[in-house]
């Protein structure tokens, strides 16, 4: 039998270094694999739909006034027409608020019928029982009261 000779310390050191390199290399490759895998992104919920825009004071006034005009013109009796007139007048700065009715327009120039007041116009609707005009422009003050009204003939 042969007798084993002691390995040189250099050989042992090289073997140990080789194992360390292999161990470190294995750790780095696992690290790279785990780093390369993308992290799951949190699912974003879709943004809620924007709330519908609130109508401006002018748009709101036009809507209400059109309803009052139709209500007055289509009222079945004088008392209901008068109560609708009083409700409509509460939307105006005063009973003498001007109402302008456009009878002709060309190149931005408008011709108006004889100016009237809102009180006279509402009574005209009550008497004729016809709402032949629509609101084309309305001016509102800071308090939300109508200060001027422009109408046009329906076609």
CATH code, domain carrying 69: 3.10.450
Which of 95, 85, 93 minimizes the C-alpha distance to 65? 85
> Is residue 108's pLDDT more than 70?
yes
Q: Is 139 contained in some domain? A: yes
Q: What is the mean pLDDT of the segment spanning 7-14?
A: 71
Predicted pLDDT of residue 126: 95
Q: Domain limits at 87?
A: 57-153
**Position with higher pLDDT, 31 vs 144:** 144
Q: Is 3 contained in some domain? A: no
Q: Is 10 contained in some domain? A: no
Q: Is 29 contained in some domain? A: no
Using the CB atoms, write b or e for 72-88: b if 16+ within 10 Å: bbebeeeeebeebbeeb
Predicted pLDDT of residue 130: 93
Distance from C-alpha of 124 to C-alpha of 41, rounded to nearest angstrom: 68
Q: Is 145 contained in some domain? A: yes
> Is residue 7's pLDDT more than 90?
no
User: Are 126 and 78 within 8 A, CB to CB?
Assistant: yes
Residue 23 gets the label, from left (phi > 0), alpha (psi -120 to 50) or beta, of alpha
- Model confidence pTM above 0.85: no
Least-confidence region, from 82-86, 107-111, 147-151: 107-111
User: Are 129 and 74 within 8 A, CB to CB?
Assistant: yes
Q: Count of domains in the chain?
A: 1
> Is residue 43's pLDDT more than 80?
no
**Position with higher pLDDT, 27 vs 86:** 86
């Amino acid at each position: 039998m042969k007798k084993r000779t002691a390995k040189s310390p250099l050989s042992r050191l090289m073997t140990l270094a080789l194992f360390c390199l292999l161990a470190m290399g294995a750790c780095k490759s696992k690290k790279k694999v785990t780093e390369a895998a993308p992290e799951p992104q949190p699912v974003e919920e879709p943004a809620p739909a924007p709330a519908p825009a609130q109508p401006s004071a002018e748009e709101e006034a036009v809507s209400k006034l059109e309803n009052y005009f139709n209500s007055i013109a289509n009222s079945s009796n004088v008392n209901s027409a008068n109560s609708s007139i009083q409700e409509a007048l509460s939307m105006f700065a005063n009973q003498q608020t001007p109402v302008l009715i456009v009878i002709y327009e060309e190149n931005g120039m408008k011709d108006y019928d004889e100016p009237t007041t809102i009180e006279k116009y509402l009574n005209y609707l009550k008497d004729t029982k016809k709402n032949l005009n629509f609101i084309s422009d309305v001016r509102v003050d800071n308090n939300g009261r109508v200060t001027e009204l422009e109408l046009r003939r329906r076609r």
